Amino acid sequence: MEEVKFNFEDLKVYQKALDFIDYAYSLTAKFPKEELYGLSSQFNRAAVSIALNTSEGSGDTDAQFHRFLQAAADSVRECVTCSTIAFRRKFISPEENNKARLMLLEILKMTSSLQRYLKSKRN
């Protein structure tokens, strides 16, 4: 049976967001158990929020999609902060922190580029 596919699933930024979710979950799985309802939960929710906002906004008007992409960008910055805290608390290595930051920077650039494109269509 052929898989049903939605248009937003073709967006590269959405695919990169899913990759980051996988990475965030792999990182937080190693956090201390007392962080389960703290930093682990916050990091995972922020990572998931990037993909959720990208997919949700894609089916709306360009102006609304722009707004949802801004929310996704806000979640990217939240993930940077979570990664930094995890690094400072020695829950993750410098290499893991850097990889997270590189992935997030790529997503943020893609989000900004898509926002610029949507804005140019309005003008």
- CB distance 50 to 10 below 8 Å: no
Measured CA to CA, the distance from residue 73 to residue 55 in angstroms comes to 13
Pick the CATH number of 10-122 from 3.40.50.970, 1.20.1440.60, 3.40.50.620, 1.10.645.10: 1.20.1440.60
Query: What pTM was computed for the model?
Result: 0.94
Q: Is the pLDDT of residue 82 over 80?
A: yes
Provide the residue ranges of all domains of the chain, joining segments of one domain with +.
10-122
What is the tens place of the pLDDT at every residue in 83-120? 999 999 999 999 999 999 999 999 999 999 999 999 99
Backbone angles phi, psi at 42, to 5 degrees: -65, -45
Going by the DSSP 8-state scheme, the letter that residue 60 receives in this structure is S
Measured CA to CA, the distance from residue 64 to residue 71 in angstroms comes to 11
Which residues make Cβ contacts (< 8 Å) with residue 105, sequence separation at least 6?
none
Measured CA to CA, the distance from residue 28 to residue 19 in angstroms comes to 15
**What pLDDT was estimated at residue 123?**
65
C-alpha count within 13 angstroms, C-beta hemisphere, residue 70? 9
Q: Helices H, strands E: what count in the chain?
A: 4, 0
- CB distance 69 to 114 below 8 Å: yes
What is the tens place of the pLDDT at every residue in 18-70? 999 999 999 999 999 999 999 999 999 999 999 999 999 998 899 999 999 99
